[in-house]
Structure 1
């Protein structure tokens, strides 16, 4: 399997993490797993039919799909003729490009988009990067700066800031904050913070090797103990820490 990420144009950098491409190789025939990161996305299938969402969803050739914010892992079956091209949007950004549906209606789902929202397969194939940069630049609307500021605060704390503290700092009620998150991100601010905290712990585990105990990492990342961290990893990855 070959996977690569490509940066969008400078104008789109505040809104899009990356474009990505995944192509199967000759002997590929395996499930590939991705973990939740708080980001929604879009995928167009350029190859044979691809089974995703742990076997529940089938993506057909030339169709465009929206992938809602994930709260747990997803498996996709990769074969030799698999060819996917995707867009990883930044959290809370989907509504800057689409007036489609509240994000909480898409959480943990992969949904085929209607033709009017989809990528034009003929134009896409001619020059994917040129097409995507133009497609999203033309669709760009004003960004929700308050929401982006709150997201930034959550990331700066590695998911350990309290929701009440965020609401107080932003001069917004907790109820309104939760409503905004569900509408634009698909999950509550607490759930989003948990994903950010999990991703921070995951990064430390992968980069620490045997140098640090799981308990040390758990405490640093705001978990009660190593069991709390282990259970969170199981929920979000389907694996135990030693399998990461």
Structure 2
């Protein structure tokens, strides 16, 4: 990697981890922009290991504090606002929306909109700097060891709801057709295994189908509106409200101002979609 050049790569997990892990990604920026980055919700929790200088994350009080070098990021219902503090190098596991419950060991609702310190749990984990493939191999080996220690499983009812939401298909059983007790039971299963409600997860997926266009700021207003209508929005004001809710700014502002990791993730997501 040339001096100052950014690198973002995604790697598919091995078959044994595929029910739980969506992708493993690496990112490096020897000289990152110190501008504030807004990371939008995507419906997937992540486990992140930092080999470089830590990021500083903005808290609810507006103060920026350093993140731990190893963290678990639960489901997000609002943007993550942060900035790099020096040369950056990350390797991370992006779980399926319902794939991290048994890794974490407690309900995902306890991690929603939180970054949990994983330094103690990842003690001794040392992926090789500057070697994306080696970093991924190290994380795969570590995860496989974690999986062998406990029973990891997928709730088929929850997974079916997630698949329908992500593919814009109707829910397997519409809420209107469920008994109240069945609806409450599904809500509890989602709180446990996903961390957000089925309805909110659908909203996040719908938002992402439009948000990923923000990686390409040359698109005009008509293009944005068409993308929003195709994603399921009724009109532009409704879409704008979700951008404020999940990103904290307008689509135009994000497209103009974002750099580095935030744009790299959005660009890769659009290519893969």
- Which category of TM-score, normalised to the shorter sequence, fits these structures? 0.7 to 0.9
Mapped to 2, the partners of 1:102 and 1:204 lie a distance apart of: 33
Aligned to 1:35: 40
Hey, what does 1:155 align to over in structure 2? Answer: 166
Maintained 8 Å contact 1:96/1:139 = no
Question: Offset of 1:169 from its aligned partner?
Answer: 8.0
Whether contact under 8 Å (2:101, 2:192) holds in the other structure is no
Q: Equivalent of 2:66, from 58, 64, 71?
A: 58
Counterpart selection for 1:226 from 236, 247, 262: 236
1:110 matched residue in structure 2? 115
* Deviation at residue 139 of structure 1 after TM alignment: 2.9
> Aligned match of 2:23 in 18, 23, 42?
18
1:121 aligns with 2:125: yes
**2:11–2:23 Cα contact (<8 Å) kept:** yes
Structure 1 residues not aligned, in runs of 5+: none
Distance 1:118 1:168 in 2: 45
Identify unmatched segments of 5+ residues in structure 2: 1-5, 256-273
1:187 to 2:196 alignment: yes
Quote how far apart the aligned CAs of 1:34 are. Answer: 1.4
Alignment length, in residue pairs?
Answer: 237
> How many Å separate the matches in 2 of 1:209 and 1:226?
15
Tell me the TM-score normalised to structure 2 length: 0.74
| Deviations, residues 40-67 of structure 1 (Å, cap 9, x unaligned) | 011112122321256544224xx42110
Equivalence for 1:145: 156
Q: TM-score, length-normalised on structure 1?
A: 0.82
2:205 is aligned, of 181, 191, 196, to 196
